[in-house]
Chain A
Amino acid sequence: QVQLVESGGGLVKPGGSLRLSCAASGFTFSDYYMSWIRQAPGKGLEWVSYISSSGSTIYYADSVKGRFTISRDNAKNSLYLQMNSLRAEDTAVYYCASGVDTAMGPLYWGQGTLVTVSS
């Protein structure tokens, strides 16, 4: 069955960096777009970044543009999010999600990894 497993979350100081990973299985990874979506404690969902199936198209939310970098390795069925210059407001559960048609939201979601930015 489809599995998306995030890793790399943890506690980091403001201004620090963290790299999230998402390991995918159970579907043809290279056919699917991938995305990171986050949820601050007690808050709603916020789309963070998107990468097309081939990696040729990338988008970022304004709130993370210039600080976060999304990438994927189709040979390793893996998605990444490099997060630099972290701020307290980046504290959230980060979900890895995937789909084939951007006309609808992502179909498959991981269980999330918690990133806490605090001194």
Chain B
Amino acid sequence: SSELTQDPAVSVALGQTVRITCQGDSLRSYYASWYQQKPGQAPVLVIYGKNNRPSGIPDRFSGSSSGNTASLTITGAQAEDEADYYCNSRDSSGNPWVFGGGTKLTVL
């Protein structure tokens, strides 16, 4: 199956902009989706497709993609954005999806 690689941890100062990346061969063919997961809670979809946000997701969250890399950008990070973030895409091997290993975002 395909693999998606994420940095294990990233930090950002309150109010600043942070980019979380995800690399994998499947991203050359498929868009990434991004999930936010806070401790003890289920994941929440924050970005999907080219750059789409489900209802209720703040517009400080945005997505982009280039080559084999997808990025989630948080513009003006808030304390409540501190969470684990997972990327996900279709799996080139034929299975529905593959998940990245996750990035722990700390807001300083």
The yes or no verdict on A and B being binding partners is yes
Binary B-proximity of A60-88 (CB < 8 A = 1, otherwise 0): 01100000000000000000000000000
A112 to B94, CA, bound (A): 26
**B61 close to chain A: CB less than 8 A:** no
A118 to B100, CA, bound (A): 27
- B96 adjacent to A50 (CB under 8 Å): yes
Q: Sort chain A's interface into a size bin.
A: 20 to 34
For this complex, 10 residue pairs linking A to B, each with C-beta atoms less than 8 Å apart, are A37-B99, A46-B99, A47-B96, A95-B43, A102-B96, A103-B90, A104-B31, A104-B33, A105-B33, A105-B97
User: How many A-B contacts at CB < 8 Å in the complex?
Assistant: 59
- A45 adjacent to B43 (CB under 8 Å): yes
Chain B residues lying within 8 Å of A105, measured Cβ to Cβ, are 33, 35, 45, 48, 88, 97
- Chain B interface residues toward A at CB < 8 A: 1, 30-31, 33, 35, 37, 41-45, 48-49, 54, 86, 88, 90, 94-102
**A91 close to chain B: CB less than 8 A:** no
